[in-house]
Amino acid sequence: MKKWLAVLLVVTLMMSILVGCAKPATNEEPAGGEAEAGDKPFRVAYIARAQADSFAAWLANAVSEEADKYDNIVIDVLDGQASDSTQNALIENAITNKYDAIIIQPNNGEAQRPYAEKAVAAGIITITTNARIDGIQGASSVDADPYEQAKVNAVVALEQIPQGANVVVLKGPPGNFHADARRESWEKEFFAKRPDVKIVGEEIANWNKDEAMNYMETWVQANSKIDAIIAMNDNMAAGALEVVKDDSRFDGILSYGVDGTAEAVLLIQEGLMTSTSLQSAYDLAAALLDTANKLLTGVETQIDIDIDCPLINSDNVEQYIEMHKKAGAIR
């Protein structure tokens, strides 16, 4: 009798374990993105365009810091190294490794499109950012409006750039949504309205400071008069300014960018850069993690949002320097 009782107890214990293991999972999550004790956090791959790009590095760091606020999310930051093939391989690896979500900051949206579509097809939450890839069914996006980013500069440049000016233009990579839309905005909002302005140099510098410096060195050798640098991001504007900072022929040269990086706001404070449009990596990171959390927990199934793009110039630069100081980017 005792033997049968012991067997019955063992069977009962095993049944209770099996029932416990078979308990259905729940998507419910405590407020504030905190994971229940024992739950595995969601795994998110953030694929950066290039850590050598000052804005991409700023955004990647901001994403990492923002992720620390979420107990239910663990994020891996991966460097695309400004290479389509590298980024595409990273996306494929993230799919193979079954991440719960993939956030892509494309190097070239059209080159990454089929790989982002693969991620969606694999049932992985996919978010594109800076710049979004439009038209991917089932993907979400967090971005800013690049046309407006350039427009806020172009509108003030109409009055600032002198009559008969010589200008140089530094562009981002072709096929990149932000690069193309910002250049289109300058064309419609400035050059079409100022036919007196002559472009004496225009090149693709791929958001890169060193490439911008190389082009600017060539342009200053060929032109004794350059009145303005029109760059599609701060990194390229800063590179061009580096070339002419000690050349008296270019004292007072105007310079425009986009991003509002720590370097750019310091250049504006010094009177070396004219203006930039803020593309806050802090705001993007906050929106990205909030979006990822809502999608991962099933609160929403599709999210497409843009952040604001205020103009930064000498009138308001101190508040943006303070913003960077609070974040530790300026000491």
- The single residue listed with the structure tokens 């590298």 is 86
Domains and CATH numbers, the chain: 42-143+281-306 (3.40.50.2300), 146-278 (3.40.50.2300)
Beta strands 304-307 and 140-144 are: parallel
Mean pLDDT of all residues in 72-91: 96
User: pLDDT tens-digit profile of 99-124?
Assistant: 999 999 998 889 999 999 999 999 99
265 with 315: CB under 8 angstroms?
no
- For the segment 134-155, what is each residue's pLDDT rounded down to a tens digit? 999 999 999 999 999 999 999 9
**Angle at 143 (CA atoms; ends 138, 149), nearest 5 degrees:** 145
| Stated pTM of the model | 0.82
Mean pLDDT, the chain, as a whole number?
89
Mean pLDDT of 145-170: 98
Average pLDDT over residues 252-258: 98
Confidence tier at 38 by pLDDT (50, 70, 90): low
Answer yes or no: are the C-beta atoms of 233 and 205 closer than 8 Å. Answer: no
